[in-house]
Structure 1
């Protein structure tokens, strides 16, 4: 599931999904991404969702993470297997890829939905 980098998370950042959201409790190492088209319109993650990502946090088993895969930032569940890392797409195990720790961009720490159905 691809994401678009929107920039560092700073107080005063304006985006419809963040209306009424208190940004002051997030670490300065956080940034914002938007889930791109192709994510679908149902489920816990949908197209247009905003994700707050902490690049300073170490991923734990099954954390949602942003990783650079084939030169695109994508969303995965991280599975730690000993010292190795396996990235699994949020919508199923098809497309799982082994990764290096340097491929990780950060751990998702919060989610905001632009539209409520």
Structure 2
């Protein structure tokens, strides 16, 4: 009886995980109810609380469902690779690691943006890349920031010298930007994600 219940729970968690990985978002309460075969809102609410208790999912500051460690599937870490001269390597499972845990420090304050334009190519950020932005981090000189300058959005290095503030591109074809009226910094870039193929 206990084993059958565990299998049922595992299957339901797998359904939620598949949904998350296929659609890039967590299912709603009603979608979870459909997947789990639960008809009443109360049953779904109790089930979601159980999943929260098991750390399958969590809630953000606004109460929205976000994936827990089980859904944000970890990837195997097989060791290191030499980027200089080739060296013999053996595949060995060192650990597992969730990319969320590696790349995101402040889940509630982090968002993704797709890059267009090549003004940051010298920093290794190319058109089509995705950047992770932490809006909770205090920007400091030298950080790559997402900023609204005089009503227009851009991504550049932040440079502060005394009272003077400028946004510096990482491509010599572009000029530094000095705000004429207003500069609002939306967040600090913490990681770049590039997919090959």
Q: By the TM > 0.5 criterion, same fold? A: yes
Correspondence for 1:22 among 99, 111, 115: 99
Question: Higher mean Cα deviation, 61-70 or 93-102?
Answer: 93-102
SS of residue paired to 2:128: coil
Scaled by the length of structure 2, the TM-score of the pair is 0.42
Q: Which residue in the other structure is 1:6 paired with?
A: none
> How far apart are 1:11 and its partner, in Å?
4.9
CA RMSD of aligned residues (A): 3.0
Are residues 1:111 and 2:188 paired? no
CA distance in 1, matches of 2:164, 2:66: 36
How many residue pairs get aligned? The number is: 99
Indicate yes or no: 2:155 matched with 1:75: yes
* In structure 1, C-alpha distance between the alignment counterparts of 2:166 and 2:176, rounded to whole Å: 7
Answer 1 or 2: which has greater helix percent.
Answer: 2
**Does the alignment pair 1:91 with 2:168?**
no
Q: RCO (CA 8 Å, sep 6+): is it higher in 1 or 2? A: 1
Counterpart-to-counterpart distance in 1, 2:149 and 2:183: 11
Structure 2, unaligned runs of 5 or more? 1-64, 68-74, 76-97
Gaps of 5+ in 1: 1-9, 13-19
Report which of the two has the higher share of strand.
Answer: 1
**TM-score, normalised to structure 1's length?**
0.67
